[in-house]
Amino acid sequence: MAVRGQANRGELRFTVSDPSGAGLRCKIQLVSQSTRFYESRETDVAGHLTFANVPFGTYVVSVERSGFASYQTSIDVHSTVPDVRRVQLSLEGVKSEVTVREQNTLIDLHSTSGSSPIGSEQIQQRLSSLPGRSVQDLVVSQPGWLYEGNAVLHPRGSEYQTQFVIDGIPLTDNRSPSFGPEIGADDLESISVYTAGFPAEYGRKMGGVVELNTRRQTDPGPHGEFVLSGGSYDTLSGYARLQETRAHDSVSVSASGSHTDHYLNPVVPQNFNNTGTSADFAASYERDLNGKDRLEISVRRELSRYRIPNELIQQQAGQVQNGGDFETLGSAHFQHLVSPDSLILLSGMLRSNSERLESNLNPTPIAAFIDNKFTEGYFKGTYSVHHGHHELKAGLESDASFLLENFHYSITNPEQFDPGTKLELAFNDRRPDLEQSAFIEDLARLRNWNASLGLRWDHYQLLLNRHALSPRITIGRAFPGQNLVLHASYDRLFQTPSFDNILLSGSSAISSINDEFLRLPVQPSTGDDYEAGLTKGFLNRIRLDLATYRREARNAADDDQLLNTGISYPIAFDRSIVYGADGKLQVISAGPLSGFVSYSYMVAMEWFPVTGGLFLGQDAQNAASELTGHFPATQDQRNTVATRWESRVTSRLRLAAGASFGSGLPFEYGGTRDEALAQYGPEVISRLNFSRGRILPQFALSTSLSAEIYHHGHFQSNLHIDAEDLNNRLNVLDFGGLFSGNAIAPQRSVLVRWDNRF
């Protein structure tokens, strides 16, 4: 399988033979506690097997075949250049196998940053999720990440600055359920999560990077999976995947579908008008052209259709608003091994994306209609070289997105808007978003010192034309005797604005909505991120990760809503400062017990004046008059805690329990308490502290049961039963109105997942 250009992924190629040199079919196991990677696969008849997309780290490799002496060794993976290993097994009676001392893989002594890996076992044993948010639920369990409404991820106080990298292809648009269809967790082999120490290979959206590696089986023969899940809120989901792997090629197809009565986060506890349906189909073909060249082609079609939840007043009026997202994506990767120490990787992607919103005849206070589209073409070329203690990598990338925005509205209740607001508006515009970059980086190792040094150049051209240089420096110092790694990083960031409705907010036509307006072009955000931390292992079973950080940004990115339409667009403030600390204690295995507890402390502040975006009516007056001062960012949750513990009751039965706590986000409500009571009801209002402008703390308990129903050969069947919010607490995530972020977390619910693999 292809390396796919990811910054922290390698590839291991094994050839196993008997004493005569003939190829040997056998089992190879690859294990690393630091990356949570546990894979056991079989070679083909010629003894060949490839492990692709292996996260950087230290691994124990075990090779076994009945009648032959077992073989075990350790391997460090820290290069994108494939590592080729030849293993010759001896007959069992000869007793000449290679043996090594027990290798500690809990801590990667060569790491330079504290990324958070999520392995295949964690994905398989995860808490079941409502449709559209299985990946987001896994990511938000990591320290430094939190939810706002509708599963929008916010890493360390960043607003819409999360980048998903799917098999090496970066997607920088919003991937929450209300903005784009998801790639479900069942489709994934592993996830890596970054909030600092970013390689120079990554740019544009840098609040956090989430690498998603789709499932691949490299051992020969047919493979497949079938998953069926359902439960509360009339939820039903299905997923199926089939793959056939032969000596030089592999074909796989997958499909999924879901329906639920809880697609978005509701505005009121009654969960009015909140149905959603999604579907996904994907196919890929991979072929080893020869010993040096490899080609992969894949296509994916995704769609989601849903309704926008109603407030009490909107439900009484009979409002129905329908939304939808549709995406078709095709990608290709070509890898050429120039020499045993260097390779070239070329990647490309084409995709078409559309977003729709429409209202029925009874909306209040406004009827909004959207038919936005964009077509994106992406290309990336990299050259990697292994030379002595250095892993060098250089690359170029180009991204061209052609935006089309089609929007109109009709106000049905003028009393809810500023005087003089135009009752109707129609808008249509198109423009290209052109972005190019180049980077070079070096991962250097010198005894117990490790350093990642990079430099990135970015160019951005949409409403503005800007470019920037961004150095990236990460240094790690290992203390093998103490099983300890200290690390520090500096990232200079250049972040492009979100392109959601940016043409609408930047157009002169929009000024006709109201005579009072303020319209400023949204500049790219520039900033400096600092982090220092440590990773410490205890008894080869317990791992402690600690980090403290500070983020400073100019033209700090935020978002606003157009009137009451649900149409969001980017804005910017003069600057922002975010600082805090993250910690995670993991017990990998203490007898039958394993689990973690994570804690995040964060303070996020933004400073006036506004430096970009559109403001109308009273908002325009406020924006023009506020020239100094600061305020809490909408992601300013000071304390966040998550924990989950699992016990293996028997070899086939697991029990787990967890809890989550959030101290509450700030809110600003423009109306009175009585108006809020009429819109949202007493249950919601009881969870708000109007005097402090803070939502009261959130707290939820969860529990799970996982049972292995059947296991024979390569076929395995598992049943998962998950219950969330056992305390049935009404947890308000955001407040301030339906379209400005009001959201209630799911209440007590039970989901059942039946997973079958072969």
pLDDT digits (tens, 9 = 90+) for 74-101: 888 888 888 889 999 988 764 444 444 4
Q: Which two tokens stand for residue 111?
A: 């790491």
Q: Which residue in 657, 639, 661, 658 sits closest to 649, CA to CA?
A: 657
Please tell me the predicted confidence (pLDDT) of residue 738.
38
Q: Which two tokens stand for residue 255?
A: 């499909």
Please tell me the predicted confidence (pLDDT) of residue 96.
45
**290 burial type by CB count under 10 A (0-12 exposed, 13-18 middle, 19+ buried):** exposed
- Indicate the CATH number for domain 9-94: 2.60.40.10
Please tell me the predicted confidence (pLDDT) of residue 93.
64
Q: Distance between CA 428 and CA 696 in Å, rounded?
A: 42
Q: Which two tokens stand for residue 565?
A: 């339409």
The helix (H) or strand (E) run that includes residue 463 is: none
Q: Distance between CA 676 and CA 692 in Å, rounded?
A: 16
Please tell me the predicted confidence (pLDDT) of residue 7.
62
Query: CATH 2.60.40.10: which residues of the chain?
Result: 9-94
- Asked if residue 432 has a cis previous peptide bond (ω within 30° of 0), the answer is no
* Distances 246 to 46, 65, 188 between C-alpha atoms, Å: 12, 21, 21
Please tell me the predicted confidence (pLDDT) of residue 99.
45
3-state secondary structure 97-112: CCCCCCCCCCCCCCCC
**591 burial type by CB count under 10 A (0-12 exposed, 13-18 middle, 19+ buried):** exposed
Please tell me the predicted confidence (pLDDT) of residue 741.
60
Q: What is the number of alpha carbons within 13 Å of residue 448 lying toward its C-beta? A: 10
Q: Which residues contact 231 (CB under 8 A, 6 or more apart)?
A: 128, 749, 750, 751, 752
* Distances 742 to 148, 370, 625, 676, 748 between C-alpha atoms, Å: 9, 21, 27, 11, 19
| Domain 116-757 listed as CATH 2.40.170.20 | yes
Number of other CB atoms surrounding residue 426 within 10 Å: 11
Query: CATH 2.40.170.20: which residues of the chain?
Result: 116-757
Listed as ranges, residues in the chain with pLDDT below 50 are 1-6, 94-102, 737-740
pTM over 0.95: no
Q: Distance between CA 595 and CA 654 in Å, rounded?
A: 12
* Distances 317 to 55, 77, 311 between C-alpha atoms, Å: 53, 61, 10
Strand partners, 153: 147
Q: Distance between CA 162 and CA 637 in Å, rounded?
A: 18
Buried b vs exposed e over 218-240: b needs ≥16 C-beta within 10 Å? bbbeebbbbbebbbbbebebbbb
3-state secondary structure 295-357: EEEEEEEEEEEEECCCCHHHHHHCCCEEEEEEEEEEEEEEEEEEECCEEEEEEEEEEEEEEEE
Q: What letter does residue 568 receive in the DSSP assignment?
A: E
Q: Which residues contact 742 (CB under 8 A, 6 or more apart)?
A: 149, 267, 680, 734, 735, 736
